[in-house]
Amino acid sequence: MIEGLEWIDWKLGPYHACLPAPMVLRLKLNVDTIVQCEVETGFLYKGIEKIMETRSWQAAMVYADHLDPEAAIFGELVFCMAVEEVMGLCVPARAQFVRMILAELSRIVSHLAFLVRIAKTVHSEVILHYLLRDREKILDLFELLTGARFSLNFLRFGGVCTDMTEGFLERVLEICDNVHIRMREYNDLFIFNDRFLNRTLCLGVLKPEWVLGCGVTGPNARASGFSWDVRKQNALMGYEMLDFAIPVGTGIRGFLGDVHDRVVVRLEEMAQSAEILKQLIETVPSGEYLQEGYAHLKSVPAGEAYVRIESARGVLGCHLVSDGSSSPLRVHFRPPSVGHLMVLPALCEGLSSEDLPLVLASLDIGIAEVDR
């Protein structure tokens, strides 16, 4: 620490190799250590909410896809469920089933992408390509079912767009079996590699009071010891009939809530998603995949709804207001990453500048949903 010298002002962004997404970080450094950090976002602002107000109901659903480009189903799901709540629409069991399968597969995809970003930060190129290869298999499944890899545009009000393709369920089972085998490989090669442990243990500890104060949810909060999961709290979509655990960070190797905990919690969530998928596939409901008559909605009765689901990053909410016309009056999403960004300046204090990319990647910030 050098006395008498001014702090270095460093503006990182909007595009920088160490940032996971377009955003500006204004850092004040004391030679090497970050003293202060300010975050500025808005670079990915697309005006989704405003555009949705000018489109018809079904067309507005497409924009919800772009809340989270990697796991698009969650945006669609939360919007769809909000509209169904306003209308009091019942979704048939088979459609629920398909939605749950897509949600859990998207969770695995999102966590794999998270691991890819972590691997890129520590320059662990071998595991990066293995993770991408495994992610490709699931994206191929999405293409088989919906026709698209990322922006699925598959849900409709009252169900899903089409029935499941033949062979889809068998392939999902293969993926589930694959997940366990691959996780052993990731653990040996990467997660419990000495060098990786050295870099991630006791780093970027997310304290419980920050979690409570900033509204952090999802795997980041679970890694700090809070076992919150909307799938268990609210019974929506059918999760109450499944048996799965909520992985919580333990901090046995480092501190509770450090970067390693956040990585391990997401790995365990992937395993739990595989368990959920296996249980789902055991009992495939038959019946309609779409409630008839609601496919092309001319209007939705006036009303409001607020729905929350557990997306891969945390609690994703949607506040929907309808005034009976052919377009939504107001759609406002509650993204989980807003809380994660808010906690970043506190996390960065005292951090070495070389550790900043790793801490940033470990928070799994989705700028697309923060900026909308």
Q: Nearer Cβ to another protein, position 167 or 195?
A: 195
Q: For residue 62, what are its two tokens?
A: 């497409």
Residue with tokens 């010891």: 225
CB 38 within 8 A of CB 25: yes
Q: Select from 212, 245, 284, 295 the one that contacts another protein (CB under 8 A).
A: 212
Q: Which of residues 328-347 bind another protein (CB under 8 A)?
A: 329-330, 332, 334, 338-339, 341-342
One character per residue 127-146, x = contact with another protein (rule: CB under 8 A):
-xxx--x-------------
Residue with tokens 């365990």: 268
One character per residue 103-122, x = contact with another protein (rule: CB under 8 A):
----------------x--x
Q: Select from 7, 13, 18, 35 the one that contacts another protein (CB under 8 A).
A: 18
Distance CA 226, CA 224 (A): 6
Q: Which amino acid is at 257?
A: G
Largest alpha-carbon pair distance within the chain? Answer: 74
Least gap, CB of 189 to another protein (angstroms): 7
One character per residue 152-171, x = contact with another protein (rule: CB under 8 A):
--------------------
Q: Which of residues 48-87 bind another protein (CB under 8 A)?
A: 49-51, 54-55, 84-86
Burial class (CB in 10 A: 0-12, 13-18, 19+), 167: exposed
| Helix (H), strand (E) at residue 184 | helix 168-186
Closest CA relative to residue 130, chosen from 180, 173, 177, 183: 183
Cis peptide before 14 (omega within 30 of 0): yes
Q: Nearer Cβ to another protein, position 45 or 147?
A: 45
Q: Select from 10, 188, 245, 296 the one that contacts another protein (CB under 8 A).
A: 10
Q: Nearer Cβ to another protein, position 36 or 148?
A: 36
The upper half-sphere exposure of residue 190, i.e. CA atoms within 13 Å in the direction of its Cβ, equals: 26
Q: Which of residues 233-262 bind another protein (CB under 8 A)?
A: 233-236, 238, 240
Least gap, CB of 361 to another protein (angstroms): 12
Q: Which of residues 21-40 bind another protein (CB under 8 A)?
A: 24, 29, 31-32, 38, 40
Q: Nearer Cβ to another protein, position 148 or 305?
A: 305
CB 267 within 8 A of CB 111: yes
Task: Please tell me whether residue 264 binds another protein under the rule CB under 8 A.
Answer: no
Least gap, CB of 295 to another protein (angstroms): 19
Least gap, CB of 161 to another protein (angstroms): 19
Distance CA 56, CA 62 (A): 11
Q: Nearer Cβ to another protein, position 64 or 148?
A: 64
Q: For residue 173, what are its two tokens?
A: 């089972």
Q: Select from 45, 185, 325, 349 the one that contacts another protein (CB under 8 A).
A: 45
Distance CA 364, CA 220 (A): 8
Piece of the chain touching another protein by CB under 8 A; list 69-77, 147-155, 164-172, 355-363:
355-363
Least gap, CB of 147 to another protein (angstroms): 26
State the DSSP string of 236-292. Answer: -TTGGGS---------SSS-TTSHHHHHHHHHHHHHHHHHHHHHHHHSPPPS-SB-T
The site that binds another protein (CB under 8 A) totals a number of residues, namely 83
**Which backbone phi and psi does 14 adopt, to 5 degrees?**
-65, -20
Q: Select from 68, 104, 269, 355 the one that contacts another protein (CB under 8 A).
A: 355
Q: Which of residues 280-309 bind another protein (CB under 8 A)?
A: 285, 303-306, 308
Closest CA relative to residue 219, chosen from 246, 181, 199, 186: 246
Q: Which amino acid is at 341?
A: L
